[in-house]
Structure 1
C-alpha cells in the first residue's frame, strides 16, 4: 500500500464522520415566515434568509419561492434533513403572512382570537398538513397547532427581528384591513415581548402549511401520540444531526408523557415494532398509549418512566437485547456495544453444562445462534437466569417505587420468558 493511502476501514470511518447535518421543520417554518414577512414589508423577494437559531447564531436557508396572494405574502422552503433518515426530508413547508392593526374605534380585527382583548403579537395558525393536538401530555395544549415550544420561540424571535429591521410603522394596504383573523382555525398567539416602534396594536398572522403533511404524518408517531391532521413542527436546536440520540430520546420522553397524561399506571417499553406487537397480544387489556418503542435506549427509558411516576415497567424484547440489558449496558445498539456472549457462557457453566457446550455459546455467531444452541440443549434455566439478571438491572435503575417485568420472545414470536421482579 502506498504511503498515505487509506485503509477501507479508515475511509468508512471518515465517511461516517462526514454525515451532513440539516435543519428542522421548525427552522424551515421560521425561514419561510421570515421570508414572507420581508416580502410583505419591503416588496422584495428574498432568495435566502438568515434564521436566528436558539443558540444565537444564524443559519442561511434558501427560499424555494415567494409571492403575494391578495393582502398576504407567502414563501416556501424545502426542508433539508441532511443525512438524517427523516420522513420530512425534502418536504415543502409554506407560510402565509399578513399584518393587521386595531380598527379606528380601537377594537380588534381578530375578535375572539384568544380572548385577550387588545394584545398585539404573532398568531400562528395550523394550515393544511400541520397537526393539531388532541391528547394531553404533549408540549402543546389540546386544540393547539402541533408547534413545539422551541419553534414557537424561533418564530417570535425571528419575526420580531424582521419587524425591527424593516419599519413596520406603515404597512400600506394593511392598516385599514377589516378582514377578521380566521379564529376558527387552530391557533396560538405568541407575544412580541418588549414593545418596539410600530408594535402597538399590530398582529402578524402566520399560517403554516405542509402540502403533503397528512401523508407524511402516517409514517410518524403522530397518530398514536394524539396529533391529528398532519405533521408536527419540531426542533430543539434548529439543526438536525444525523441519527441523533437526542431526537430519539425526545420521542421516548414525549411518548411517556402522553401515556402518563392518559392515566396509564404501567408502561410497556418495547425495543421495536415487532416486540411491541407481540407484547400487545400478551397484554390486550392495556391501552395503546401505554406501549412505547424505546429502541436501544434501555437506561434512559427506564429512568424516564420511573421519573414520570409509572408504577410498573414491562420490557418486551428479543434475546440479543436482553443479553445486553443483563450486562448493564445503558445503550444496546450493535454499533456501540458489540455482542459479548462470554457472560452467557459463564451462566451456562454455573448451571453445570459442559465446557464444550459453554465454548460453543461463547463463540456463537449471533445472539440468535446462541439461543438456538440453548434451546437445543433445553437450557431454559440459563435463559431464565439471563432474563432475571436483565430484570435486576432494570429494577436497579427504576427504584423501589416501580415494579418491573420482562417479556422475552424468541425470533419466531413465541413467548420464552415472562418474569417479574
Structure 2
C-alpha cells in the first residue's frame, strides 16, 4: 500500500496514560511485583493495553510506574512524554486523593472544571483512574500523584500559563483516544480560555489568529492576558462557543489572508481546509471601483498579501473585507447579539482594515 494512502494512526491521551500507570503501580502494591503491561478500560468500554516504561517499588505501600505517551500521527506537543504516577496506600476512610507531581500544573484561576488550588488532572481522567484502581481493589484508599517528566518545559508550548495552570501540563482527555489532526486539545483550550475570562467577569475578549495580530490588537486595548484567546485557525470554534457562553464584546483579529477567508464564509481558516477565492476577491476589487487593469492584476495574483499590495491606498479593500467578515460572524452567532469587531493586520502588525457592529 502507498504510504500516503495509509490511515492515520490514533494515539492515547495523557489521561489514558496516567490511568495505565496508576493501575500498574497499584497492582504492584498488591502483587509485590510489576507486570510488563497493563490493561485499562476507556470511557467507551473498550479495553486497551499499555507497556510500562519505568517501575519502582518504594516500599510495600508505595509504587511508581510510568508510560510513554504515544499520540499516534497527531502533532501533539506531549507525544513521547513520560507520564508517571505514584500510588501510596492510605488508611481506611481516606478515599482517593489526587496530587500534582513534578511537571503537572496547578489551577490558579476560576472558570476551569477544577477548583482553584486543585492539580490539573481533569474530571474524566480522574474518573478513569478511580475506575481502574477499583478494578484492582473494590474500595481503594490511596494518594495518587501524577507527574510528567520535563512537563514544565512542555507546558510553555501550550495555553496553560494563560489559563492560569501553572507549574506544568494538564492531564487531559474525554475519550482516552487522540484522533489525528482533530485539534481537540486546541479547541478545548479555546473553550477553557473563554470560561476563565467569563469567570473573571471580563466583558471584552480578543481572539486572534496568531501572535502578530494579538500583539497589534493588544496595543489598541491593553486587555488582561485572560482576555486574549489564541484561536489560531478555529474562528468557528470560538464563535460556536461564544454563542452559548456570551460576552459583551468580541474582537476577531487576524492577518489579511485568514480574515479574507472568513469574509468569504470559511470558519476553519487552515490552509489545508480552506483557501482564498482570488476570483471573488477580484470581483470585490471591481465593486470598489478599481480599473480593469487592476482587476486583471488581482486575478493573476498569487497571494492575498499581493492583492493588498496592489490596492494599497487606492482601494479600501481592508475595510470592505472586514465588513464582509463581520457579516459572516454575525450570521454564525445569530440569534445571539453581541458587539463584534474585526481587525485586519499585515505581517508587520500594521492595521489594514476594521469593521464593528
TM-score range, shorter chain: over 0.9
User: Residues 401 and 154 (structure 1 numbering): CA distance in 2 closer, same or farther, change over 3 Å?
Assistant: same
Structure 1 residue 67, shift from structure 2 partner: 2.5
What residue number does 1:380 align with?
315
> 8 Å contact 1:47–1:64 — kept in the other structure?
no
What residue number does 1:160 align with?
134
> How big is the alpha-carbon RMSD for the aligned residues of Structure 1 and Structure 2?
1.8
The correspondence for 1:391, drawn from 326, 341, 344, is 326
What residue number does 1:308 align with?
245
Tell me if 1:253 matches 2:191: yes
Q: Residue 380 of structure 1 aligns to a residue in which SS?
A: coil
Structure 2 matches for 1:294-373, cutoff 5 A? Answer: 294-373=231-310
The correspondence for 1:53, drawn from 26, 42, 45, is 42
Structure 1 residue 13, shift from structure 2 partner: 4.4
Q: Residue 346 of structure 1 aligns to a residue in which SS?
A: helix
TM-score normalised by length of structure 2 = 0.94
What residue number does 1:35 align with?
24
CA deviation profile, 1:86-113 (whole Å, cap 9, x unmatched): 22222112111122334xxxxxxxxxxx
Q: Residue 88 of structure 1 aligns to a residue in which SS?
A: coil
Q: Residue 321 of structure 1 aligns to a residue in which SS?
A: helix
Q: What is the CA–CA distance in structure 2 between the aligned matches of 1:251 and 1:360, rounded to whole Å?
A: 41
Q: What is the CA–CA distance in structure 1 between the aligned matches of 2:343 and 2:352, rounded to whole Å?
A: 8
The correspondence for 1:92, drawn from 71, 78, 82, is 82
Tell me if 1:409 matches 2:345: yes
Q: What is the CA–CA distance in structure 2 between the aligned matches of 1:61 and 1:304, rounded to whole Å?
A: 35
Unaligned runs of 5+ in 1: 1-5, 103-117, 164-195
Structure 1 residue 411, shift from structure 2 partner: 2.2
Q: What is the CA–CA distance in structure 2 between the aligned matches of 1:41 and 1:257, rounded to whole Å?
A: 41
What residue number does 2:53 align with?
64
Tell me if 1:139 matches 2:113: yes
Larger radius of gyration: 1
TM-score normalised by length of structure 1 = 0.80
Tell me if 1:262 matches 2:193: no
Q: Residue 314 of structure 1 aligns to a residue in which SS?
A: strand
Structure 1 residue 271, shift from structure 2 partner: 0.6
Structure 1 residue 256, shift from structure 2 partner: 0.8
Structure 2 matches for 1:195-274, cutoff 5 A? Answer: 196=138, 199=139, 202-274=140-212
CA deviation profile, 1:57-111 (whole Å, cap 9, x unmatched): 0121110122210231111111122222222222112111122334xxxxxxxxx
> 8 Å contact 2:212–2:347 — kept in the other structure?
no
Q: What is the CA–CA distance in structure 2 between the aligned matches of 1:215 and 1:297, rounded to whole Å?
A: 25
Q: What is the CA–CA distance in structure 1 between the aligned matches of 2:189 and 2:119, rounded to whole Å?
A: 18
Q: What is the CA–CA distance in structure 1 between the aligned matches of 2:58 and 2:51, rounded to whole Å?
A: 21
> 8 Å contact 2:285–2:315 — kept in the other structure?
no
Q: What is the CA–CA distance in structure 2 between the aligned matches of 1:93 and 1:383, rounded to whole Å?
A: 47
Q: What is the CA–CA distance in structure 1 between the aligned matches of 2:86 and 2:7, rounded to whole Å?
A: 36
Q: Residue 316 of structure 2 aligns to a residue in which SS?
A: helix
Structure 1 residue 12, shift from structure 2 partner: 7.0
> 8 Å contact 1:39–1:67 — kept in the other structure?
no
What residue number does 1:107 align with?
none
Q: Residue 268 of structure 1 aligns to a residue in which SS?
A: strand
> 8 Å contact 1:344–1:386 — kept in the other structure?
no
Q: Residue 116 of structure 2 aligns to a residue in which SS?
A: coil
> 8 Å contact 2:212–2:348 — kept in the other structure?
no
Structure 1 residue 412, shift from structure 2 partner: 2.1
CA deviation profile, 1:45-65 (whole Å, cap 9, x unmatched): 111111211111012111012
Size of the aligned set, in residue pairs, is: 355
Q: What is the CA–CA distance in structure 2 between the aligned matches of 1:251 and 1:357, rounded to whole Å?
A: 43
Unaligned runs of 5+ in 2: none
CA deviation profile, 1:341-369 (whole Å, cap 9, x unmatched): 12211111122222232122122111111
Q: What is the CA–CA distance in structure 2 between the aligned matches of 1:340 and 1:12, rounded to whole Å?
A: 31
